[in-house]
Amino acid sequence: MSRTALLIVLLPLALALQQQPDLVHVDAGTIRGNIDAASGTRSFLGIPFAAPPVGNLRWQSPQPVQPWLGVLNTTKFSAACLQPPGTNDDLSDLPYGTPVSEDCLYLNVYTPYPVPSTHLPIMVFVHGGSFMFGSAMDAEYNGAHIASLTRDVIVVVVNYRLNVFGFLASAVLKQQSPDGSAGNYGLQDQRFALQWVKRNAAAFGGNSNLVTLFGESAGSASVALHLLSPLSTGLYHRAILQSGAFSSWIATTFNSSVAKYIAVASIVGCCPTSSCSDSDPAVLACLRATDAYTLLATIGSVPTSDGGVNKIEWNFVIDGVEVLGDPLTLAAAGAINNVPVLLGSNGDEGTIFSTFPATLNAAEYDYAINEVFGPQLGPLLLAQYPLSAYPDSYQASARLIGEMMFNCPARQSAKWMVQGRANLLHPQPVYVYFFNYTSELTKQIAPQLGSFHGSELYLVFDDAQYLVTPQEVQLGKAMVSLWTMFAKTGVPSASGRHHMAEYSMETQLVSTLDVGSIVTYTSHWKEANCDFWNAVGYPNY
């Protein structure tokens, strides 16, 4: 086709896109989104960023989406990735009736409207849910609230494969993979989405060279692994980790994942004999031909990662390609990408994870701790977290679990980052926050939860239905400003008055976020208990 003929074909499309701001041309075709003039936002929902990972593409790296002709309506959410109908906490539960599907590699884009002439920073969010649950379609991840409030960032929220579909590994999967990877399809999906953002940022008014990757819980752990992966370098330029840093629960050994593979194959009838092999192509072919819901039904019946007391059935796999080694060992060795990082945790992280009743007496509490953590670690934990120091056995166990899984790993991760960058010519800053506010709704409905795991999300995404007092609204707007200013400049600040402290080995300042003062500083935060965990090691839970 001649240059003139090509211009004749493309000119009407270019004019239509210019005149219709609900139309955007991405690399696979043209999409139509929603314009909400009242809130001043555009939203493009359910944009396909990869081919459906079904059939022979099940347990393969994400592949390019097939281009389409005409205009694709992206005005409604796509299906969530396949997952069970309920979880142990409301934050991960899908709203009733939310469709789920193996065909789920879609993302949502939220922009201000009208779009400013300058290219805006982009914030890409990875949802949590224990690697088993959750979706970009969850109401608490509505990026329109951020885009409307700040008017100067674009928010992208991504789906990625979960549970048995996202984290299953075997020898034959490694053999069939072009790069020898296996078991980290969820991580690869996230990177594929980041690559999509890089290619298509300008079409939405975004700056592909100013991307902040942020996530919560399992999504935060995902961000941590991208910080360790050379394959993700250059696709993001800042990182925010909310309640999930370099921790023992974020990755498992390859052999542990193989045990899950064999268990799944046996349950669904793909292992005709007791000597099932994870290197047998026939077993893999059988698994790929198995109905997706049959596979989904196996996820609570497979061995937990590396045994012990770990209750995370699915997580990333140390395959030597996507995850090069034990994340804690890599982080301690300074293998963390040198970008500005904001990380932190909440005051009552363990309350939604503890299964201890509040009514245990001292003898029963001692027995329960020893039963869960074993005869070697149990007595040490009882000395560090005695029942007498807490209101009841539930609160004691919740504090133990929260500091073990989230608070102290955040502190240690910050130290590894600062120490690993000490000799660099241009070390990037690290900021540590501690969210310590219990919302009015929580006080009314479930006061024992406190500032529970994930409760900061309602403020980070400025979800007005959960912010019922003027002080909460003020804190929410300040947190949105802190997060988005970090995305724009690499320094978290709000209204020119509230600034987080840069973390250093000398001061070890942690910025506490709460109503009233918004930001206050604590030096050597949780030092005694976190030094204890560093000494005894972090068990899987």
**Backbone φ and ψ of 98, nearest 5°:** -65, 125
How far does Cα 464 stand from its chain's mean position?
22
> What is the residue whose two structure tokens read 């080694």?
325
The closest alpha carbon to 58, from 288, 285, 246, belongs to 288
Contact at 8 Å (CB) between 428 and 357?
A: no
CB neighbour class for 329 (10 Å; exposed up to 12, middle 13-18, buried from 19): exposed
Annotated catalytic residue: which of 145, 226, 453, 498? 453
DSSP state, residue 121: E
Annotated catalytic residue: which of 217, 220, 247, 413? 217
Q: Are strands 23-26 and 29-32 parallel, antiparallel or unpaired?
A: antiparallel
Strand partners, 241: 215, 343
Residue 218 CB neighbours (<10 A)? 28
DSSP state, residue 78: -
CB neighbour class for 21 (10 Å; exposed up to 12, middle 13-18, buried from 19): middle
**Backbone φ and ψ of 3, nearest 5°:** -60, -40
Contact at 8 Å (CB) between 480 and 150?
A: yes
The closest alpha carbon to 193, from 38, 341, 81, belongs to 81
Annotated catalytic residue: which of 102, 216, 349, 456? 349
Residue 349 a catalytic site member: yes
Tokens at residue 472, please? 């909460």
The closest alpha carbon to 511, from 524, 520, 502, 523, belongs to 520
Q: Are strands 120-126 and 206-216 parallel, antiparallel or unpaired?
A: parallel
Residue 364 a catalytic site member: no
Whole-angstrom CA distances from 77 to 43, 85, 253 are 10, 18, 35
Q: Are strands 71-73 and 41-48 parallel, antiparallel or unpaired?
A: unpaired
Cβ contacts of 34 within 8 Å, gap of 6 or more: 22, 42, 43, 44, 45, 75
Residue 217 a catalytic site member: yes
CB neighbour class for 132 (10 Å; exposed up to 12, middle 13-18, buried from 19): buried
Tokens at residue 4, please? 């003139």
Distance CA 270, CA 276 (A): 9
Contact at 8 Å (CB) between 535 and 404?
A: no
Look at the alpha carbons of 493, 494, 497, 500 in this order and tell me if their dihedral is positive or negative.
negative
Q: How many residues does the chain have?
A: 541
DSSP state, residue 139: G
For the annotated catalytic residues, the residue numbers are 217, 349, 453
